[in-house]
Amino acid sequence: MKNGQPLELCEDVLFQIFLRLPARDLFPFKSISTYWNDLIMSRLFVNSHLRRWNGRAGVTFMMGTYLEFELFHLYLDGDKHAINKLYQKYPPEWSLKGDYIIDSCDGLVLVQARLLKTNEKHLLLSNPVTGSYVFLPNPPFYSEWSPEKTGHILYDASLKRYKVLYRYKYEEYYIIDVDNNSGLTSESEWRKISSSQWRPWVSRESEPEYREYNAGDVLFEGKFHSVIGFEGDPDENLRLLTLDVATEKFHRVDCPPRPFARRSGWPLSFSGSNGKFYYMEFTPSLDGIQLMGLADLNHLRPTWFKRLLPLNVPPIWVLLLEYSSEDAHVFEHDSKIVFMNKIYNSFMIYEMDSGKCSCISLADYTEGAKTIPWINSMIYVSSLVSCRHGC
């Protein structure tokens, strides 16, 4: 107070004050005013805060084992890469055995966990740094459908609220709202937002009906994109399903005909910082990987592009990329493509500009490979971990 009047601080001063506080101490300030909340949630502040408190730029990832959840930070500065274990809290009623990490968004993780008393499986939305979490009611189909790799965390910027989306088979989707501050909202029930009327493909009577498969999902600029392929389709066509998170309406887009033959191996998809959506397929040899992209998603006018990324990597990595991509996770960060493989607890980092490639193993930063439990899930948490208020 000054002469009985509130003391006003300019944005630069507030920025520097908040920058010196740990992430857990920032949460009370977010509820004081919308202005402070927007400042703390801004991408500039989040990235600056992460660099200050972790020393170097990088990304955070989380892995689940049959013994516990682990949270690590992967540093990606120049030629020097390193892994550092982060502090995290666990809810005391969780059983940390056999749980599965399903998805992540802005530092929040969607996990399948068991309760110690009942040993029943439940869905939880959690912030692994603060330990806060929300139990979600199980979807209507939960008892008959595996939740692994079918759930996604979405962020509705219009309501400043998170949503959890689940796919059941391919013609049915369910969604539920989660409020950032109070947890489940009064309307927190699973809602069916799709039906057979928008099913993206209906075979003509003269053609066989091909079995569909999911080729990758990405949340990108307020829209959720799902790439669908068809096993046995000689034309190897793809469909793009786009969900507007705010309106919860789906749009179907027929991708242009593939201008090149599909390579063997299971595809992976991810979004890049350059505003493009990547659909990736791997070559079966040592010459590199074939990178195919679908761009201009916001206007629903996807176009193909092709690029060969030569990789000088150990032969074991080529085998893993070729046959074990279901056990891998890939993302792009600062013009680097990072491959995470949970079988060998290792990372492969490819620099798109220079073409350099390097490999890192978790065993190099722990007590040894023999002490690392078998990993059942590993996921990229994002560089925004703990800075948006979760749960």
391 residues of the chain, pLDDT tens digit each: 444 455 466 777 788 888 777 665 676 777 788 888 778 767 577 667 655 655 445 566 666 554 456 666 666 665 666 665 654 555 556 655 556 777 777 767 787 777 667 777 778 887 766 667 778 887 777 655 554 457 888 888 888 788 888 877 666 788 888 865 545 444 578 888 864 444 444 444 444 555 666 767 777 777 787 777 766 665 667 777 788 888 888 877 777 877 766 655 556 666 666 666 777 766 555 566 666 766 665 566 777 777 766 666 655 555 555 555 556 667 666 677 777 766 666 777 777 777 777 777 766 655 433 344 444 455 555 543 333 333 3
Instruction: Encode 261-273: b = buried (16+ Cβ within 10 Å), e = exposed.
Output: eebebbbbbbbbe
Query: Does 74 map to a domain?
Result: yes
In a domain? residue 340: yes
H/E stretch holding 321 reads helix 315-323
Is residue 386 in a domain?
A: no
Does the reported pTM lie above 0.85? no
Residue 304: predicted pLDDT: 78
- What pLDDT is recorded for position 314? 59
pLDDT of residue 385: 37
Residue 100 lies in a domain: yes
Query: What is the CATH number for 358?
Result: 2.120.10.30
Give the list of residues 6+ apart from residue 123 with CB closer than 8 angstroms, or none.
102, 110, 111, 112, 135, 136, 138, 139, 142, 147, 151, 164
Write out the residue range of the structural domain in which residue 224 sits: 56-380
Any domain includes 391:
no
Number of CB atoms found within 10 A of residue 52's CB? 10
For strands 328-333 and 336-341, give the pairing. Answer: antiparallel
Q: How far apart, in whole angstroms, are the C-alpha atoms of residue 113 and residue 94?
A: 7
Pairing mode of beta strands 328-333, 172-179: unpaired
Q: For the chain, how many structural domains are there in total?
A: 1
Determine, yes or no, domain membership for 96: yes
| 15 is a domain residue | no
8 A C-beta contact, residue 388 and residue 41 = yes
Q: Does 332 map to a domain?
A: yes
